[in-house]
Chains A and B, each alone.
Chain A
Amino acid sequence: MIRVVLPAHLRTLAQVSGELRLEVTRPVTQRSVLDALEASYPMLCGTIRDHTTQQRRPFVRFFACEEDLSHESPDTPLPEAVASGAEPFLIIGAIAGG
């Protein structure tokens, strides 16, 4: 199971609290995690990545294992610690005023 942490506003939107746990088929990548996330929580479609281009929204970042993975290819395998469920995949709203 993949562990995913959403920012507060998206937890409210998805009506969840705490970490999410998702079944993701290997290889575990940003794309496969987001595909699984949006399949389970369709209200999140368009809030993390663009509907059409699937590009990450500019003020959303992806962290895991104390690394910023935001600029990795969406098809690059995520760290094994994420794939194994040892570490969560963090979806972060950038700190940019508001």
Chain B
Amino acid sequence: MNQKTSGVRVLVGTRKGAFILTSDAKREQWDVSGPHFAGWEIYHVKGSPADPNRLYASQSSGWFGQLIQRSNDGGKTWEPVGNKFAYDGVPGTHQWYDGTPHPWEFKRVWHLEPSLTDPDTVYAGVEDAALFRSTDGGQSWQELAGLRGHGSGPRWQPGAGGMCLHSIILDPTTPGRIFIAISAAGAFRSDDGGETWKPINRGLRSEYIPDPNAEVGHCVHRIAMHRSRPNVLFMQKHWDVMRSDDAGESWREVSGNLPTDFGFPIDVHAHDPETIYVVPIKSDSEHFPPDGQLRVYRSRTGGNEWEALTQGLPQRDCYVNVLRDAMAVDSLESCGVYFGTTGGQVYASADSGDHWVPIVRDLPAVLSVEVQTLS
């Protein structure tokens, strides 16, 4: 184990505030700080890889709109920064639920993705779907309008949770390469820092849209990548778990023996890029685990062959959901895996998923979980 590692910090966004859970590298005793921004919806909190004390939080409310909070001390103190998310130019229209044109309207920030190298640069995925970037620590935000304007935007449509840009992955090895995903449009890639974009949905098949093989319109719930192998992407779609080995140019299904291939989060083990995790959910109309048993499924083969992880998880009468941004891993030698539920539990495994414990049980519904490995 890295001797300089001092512990982990778990950043939890909930329906009614943010919580910060900290532990040493043993991950047995946890301190809980919060609620921060009590009473507000915290869709996401994430730290800068370049400066772990720099955190960004998306704070929103149906009454008072969107705020962005920034911390320079690991979440001890916060300051509100810029909250003006103005679409570039005339926003135009996307499809409404009934297929009619509907104007783009900013609603909230779902996901904040700090730059891998610059603490002051951070990307924001918003609803209605668009990608924004700040290069001044969140004080001001500019839309990367090439995504919304690349041509397929008028065919995008909201999923049940809204038309959200929920996944942002910055390629650590190919400069300028960014992957994003939108419900319900699909996955997109830029190779020039976000200026231009292309849909990367070949191989996805969605029976719930008029053309199941359409270029856009797929309800992608989450995409994930291991930083050592950025051409390999994993996807939890509305239905189907998918894999791409060519940076999204094509996808194949790897749902294999999962009890259901509906779900929201998907993540990759910190040290083994072929080990991935999902949380199967019964169906799109019954957002809870099959048979009332909360089970994480792990594949050590990059998909297709899955094993149920149940030790320490409730195996009866459990009807919570695990939302798309509510799973994360740490990078300690024995990889920790974490997820939060709509029932307010945050579960952690310090042994790659073999055993689980609830590190906090009674938070508001968990919207997001991120983990920082601290040294």
Contact = CB atoms under 8 A, between A and B. Distances in A.
Interface of A: 7, 9-10, 12-13, 43, 45-48, 51-52, 57, 59-60, 93-94, 96, 98
B354 to A, nearest CB: 40
Given A46-B83, A51-B86, A52-B86, A13 B67 contact: yes
A9 B63 contact: yes
24 contacts: A9-B61, A9-B63, A9-B64, A13-B64, A13-B80, A43-B80, A46-B66, A46-B83, A46-B84, A47-B64, A47-B65, A47-B83, A48-B64, A51-B86, A52-B84, A52-B86, A57-B63, A57-B65, A59-B62, A59-B63, A60-B64, A93-B64, A94-B63, A96-B63
Interface residues on B, range: 10 to 19
A13 to B, nearest CB: 7
Interface in B72-127: 80, 83-84, 86
B39 interface: yes
Contact of B63 (A12, A43, A46, A93): A93
**Per DSSP, are chain A's interface residues mostly helix, strand or loop, or mixed?**
loop
Contacts of B83: 45-47, 51
Given A13-B80, A51-B84, A52-B86, A46 B39 contact: no
B140 to A, nearest CB: 12
A52 B83 CA distance: 12
Contact of A47 (B38, B39, B67, B86): B67
B40 interface: yes
Interface of B: 38-40, 61-67, 80, 83-84, 86
Contacts of B66: 46
Contacts of A45: 83-84
Contacts of B63: 7, 9, 57, 59-60, 93-94, 96, 98
A48 B61 CA distance: 11
Contacts of B65: 46-47, 57
Given A43-B80, A47-B67, A9 B40 contact: yes
Contacts of A47: 64-65, 67, 83
A50 B83 CA distance: 11
Nearest to A52: B86
A38 B67 CA distance: 14
Nearest to A51: B84
A57 B64 contact: yes
A53 B307 CA distance: 53
Given A13-B64, A43-B80, 8 more contacts: A7-B64, A9-B39, A12-B38, A46-B66, A57-B63, A57-B64, A93-B64, A98-B62
A5 to B, nearest CB: 15
A57 B60 CA distance: 13
A80 to B, nearest CB: 29
- A-B pairs, top 6 by smallest CB distance, nearest first, are A47-B64, A43-B80, A59-B63, A93-B63, A51-B84, A46-B83
Nearest to B80: A43
B17 to A, nearest CB: 11
Nearest to A93: B63
A94 B66 CA distance: 17
Contacts of A60: 63-64
Contacts of A10: 64
A98 B61 CA distance: 10
B363 to A, nearest CB: 17
Contacts of A9: 39-40, 61, 63-64
B35 to A, nearest CB: 11
Contacts of A46: 65-67, 83-84
B284 to A, nearest CB: 25
B84 A96 contact: no
Nearest to A43: B80
Contacts of B86: 51-52
A64 B86 CA distance: 32
A43 B67 CA distance: 9
Contacts of B39: 9
Nearest to B86: A52
A62 to B, nearest CB: 14
